Amino acid sequence: MVDNPTQIESVLNNLVYALFGQSGLQHAAPREIGNLTVFDHPETVDQIVKSPAVFRKNFSLISALGLSRFNTNDEDWAARRAITQDRYLAAAKPSSERAISTVYNKQLDDCDASMPGIQQALFAASLTIFYGALGLVPDIAPTAALLDRVRDVLRRLQYYSWVPPTTLERNSAIHDARAVIADFGSQLMAHPRSAAEMHRFSDKARGIEGFSPIEEFVMNLFAGVETTVATVSWVMDRLGANQQVQERIQSEIDSNNNQTPYADCMINETMRYLPPIPFLVREVGADTLLDGKSLREGQLILLSIVGVHQHPAFWSDPRTFDASRGEFMEDSFDRRAFIPFLTGPRMCGGARLGRLEVKEAVRALVRRFSFARADNVIRFDYGLALRPAGGSSLGVSRR
Ligand code: HEM
């Protein structure tokens, strides 16, 4: 029955490997994954994401973890967005740069010089910044443990949207999703400040039927922390695999100049090559014709961010990781072909904050550590966000 984690992981990873396999090629045949049509032309994807009334969010089973601005549409989404959006923007003001840098520096100063130690410190820093954006302070260890449970449940729910579950499996996943939301709720409501923030959420949400501030909070938290840590993890992985790139970035960052064009370029290239959210699913809201394909109302389509980021008409040598990629160094890339945070009305709510965090985290890491990989094989682990596989050969030492 349920929950064979190895099988779940390998099915989801294979799905993403298939996306990588199909990307970057000149004359790729029309693509399908499972029974979903894949769109990866930057212009078409741009058109899709800018038409949210026709191409809608659909999370069917994943909604077992609750409703939030992530998986709702129309007025419901707009009202939910208003609860958090100004907080994320305020937290990403240029004046916050120093505070964000301090959080990462402190966590990395105190951490064990091992990959698990660094991972823990990155989660702690990102949690601190997410909670801080809402005026809260996290209880780090228990919150990180809850986040692990959210990841596990989301991975299972996502797997079941590809491989239909038995009734038992479905019920077990829904039960676990409800349990983790309930435990998050107990934790948040036990602290007066976070309880007051949940009341603020509910006050702002008046009129939204069945609104749960905890569900809203948990999906926002996961969206913010998991993707940020995944991005920084890929940067470490790519530094470890490219020693000359690492040395160049170390000397750029060591020079204490606020301008770090090469590091910025390398971060962009990492997000192009290994987008933390490699694909999105949308539901067609009305019969429509797109790129010569007729789409029926209710049909699900897949938008391949990997494919957009490797489209051969938009990128030179798209399947090569190039830390000093010309399109980034010269700022000549087409904005529609680089969408790690998406674009359009449903783009990432924390894009500015996420970018700032990644930049400060990379600076703090590069100042303290050197990374080295025994090989250059990319191995990943996908569960809503794409992260380097746990067992990959990345080693770390203090500088
Ligand atoms: C490097 C880090 C990040 C990346 C790559 C990233 C990427 C994305 C992407 C691709 C989406 C669109 C998902 C979809 O339409 O299905 C998204 C949505 C979202 N992200 Fe991020 N994200 C990052 C960091 C953050 C942070 C730091 C926060 C909050 C503090 C955040 C909050 C959100 C929210 C709330 C949404 C839903 C937006 C909406 O539909 O209203 N993200 N993110």
Q: Is the whole model's pTM more than 0.85, yes or no?
A: yes
- For ligand 1, say whether the CB of 350 is within 6 Å of any of its atoms: yes
pLDDT score recorded for residue 292: 83
Is 392 inside a domain boundary? no
**Residue 330: pLDDT band with limits 50, 70, 90:** very high
pLDDT score recorded for residue 349: 97
pLDDT score recorded for residue 28: 59
- For ligand 1, say whether the CB of 282 is within 6 Å of any of its atoms: no
Number of domains within the chain: 1
- What is the distance in A from the centroid of ligand 1 to the CA of 91? 15
Query: Which residue CA neighbors atom 16 of ligand 1 most closely?
Result: 280
- For ligand 1, say whether the CB of 88 is within 6 Å of any of its atoms: yes
Which runs of consecutive H residues, i.e. helices, occur in the chain?
Answer: 5-22, 42-49, 74-91, 97-110, 115-133, 140-162, 167-189, 192-204, 213-241, 243-254, 261-273, 305-309, 326-329, 351-368
Ligand 1, atom nearest to 346 Cα? 40
Note the pLDDT tens digit of each residue in 90-116.
999 999 999 999 999 999 998 999 999
- For ligand 1, say whether the CB of 354 is within 6 Å of any of its atoms: yes
Is 395 inside a domain boundary? no
pLDDT score recorded for residue 384: 82
Residues with Cβ < 8 Å from 225, sequence gap 6 or more? 123, 126, 127, 130, 147
* Window from 51-65, 345-359, 367-381 with minimum mean pLDDT: 51-65
**pLDDT, averaged across the chain:** 93
In whole angstroms, what is the distance from residue 202 CA to residue 197 CA? 9
Whether pLDDT at 20 is above 50: yes
pLDDT score recorded for residue 89: 98
Average of per-residue pLDDT across 345-368: 97
Is 118 inside a domain boundary? yes
Output the domain CATH number for residue 17.
1.10.630.10
**Residue 56: pLDDT band with limits 50, 70, 90:** very high
Note the pLDDT tens digit of each residue in 277-326.
999 999 999 999 998 889 999 999 999 999 999 999 999 999 999 999 99
- What is the distance in A from the centroid of ligand 1 to the CA of 340? 9
Is 399 inside a domain boundary? no
Is 397 inside a domain boundary? no
Average of per-residue pLDDT across 194-223: 96
- What is the distance in A from the centroid of ligand 1 to the CA of 44? 21
Query: Which residue CA neighbors atom 2 of ligand 1 most closely?
Result: 228
pLDDT score recorded for residue 139: 95
**Residue 3: pLDDT band with limits 50, 70, 90:** low
Is 329 inside a domain boundary? yes
In whole angstroms, what is the distance from residue 38 CA to residue 31 CA? 5
- For ligand 1, say whether the CB of 229 is within 6 Å of any of its atoms: no
Is 394 inside a domain boundary? no
Whether pLDDT at 2 is above 50: no
Query: Which residue CA neighbors atom 40 of ligand 1 most closely?
Result: 346
- For ligand 1, say whether the CB of 341 is within 6 Å of any of its atoms: yes
Domain interval for residue 350: 5-387
Note the pLDDT tens digit of each residue in 149-203.
999 999 898 888 888 889 999 999 999 999 999 999 999 999 999 999 999 999 9
Is 353 inside a domain boundary? yes
